[in-house]
Amino acid sequence: MVTRTNVLSLNPVLTNAERGGYAVGSFSPRSTAMIRPVLQAGQALQSPLIVQISQKELERHQITPSQFADAFYREVEQLKVTIPVVLHLDHTKQFAVIE
C-alpha cells in the first residue's frame, strides 16, 4: 500500500523550491509506460518532480485519469520513491475529466 507521504500538492513543492533557489522539473510521460523512468531519474538525482498528463494524451492512449493515477501510485510504491513528487492533470478543459 502506498503511504503517499512524498506525493504532495504543487504548492508546497514550489514553495520549497523557491525558498531553496531551485527549479522543479515537470515531465509528461505521455503514457503509463514512461512513468517509471521519470520517477527513477528524479530519485537518482534526488530532485523533486512533477508528473503530468493532459486530456489529449489520455484520449490518445485511451486511458482514464484514474488509470494513469493508479499506474503512477503503483510505480511510486514499487520504486520506493522518497523524493517529493506531484501528480498533475494538465491542459484539461472538460469538468467530467477533472472529476
The pLDDT tens digits of the residues spanning 15-44 come to 999 999 999 999 999 889 999 999 999 999
* pLDDT, average across residues 5-24: 94
* pLDDT, average across residues 67-81: 95
**Which residues have C-beta within 8 Å of that of residue 19, sequence separation ≥ 6?**
none
Give the number of C-alpha atoms closer than 13 A to the C-alpha of residue 43, restricted to the C-beta side: 16
* pLDDT, average across residues 52-78: 92
Q: What is the pLDDT of residue 6?
A: 87
42 vs 3, higher pLDDT: 42
Calpha distance 89→35 (Å, rounded): 14
Q: What percent of the chain stands above pLDDT 70? A: 95
Q: What is the pLDDT of residue 1?
A: 44
Q: What is the pLDDT of residue 30?
A: 80
| The model scores a pTM over 0.85 | yes
* pLDDT, average across residues 75-97: 89
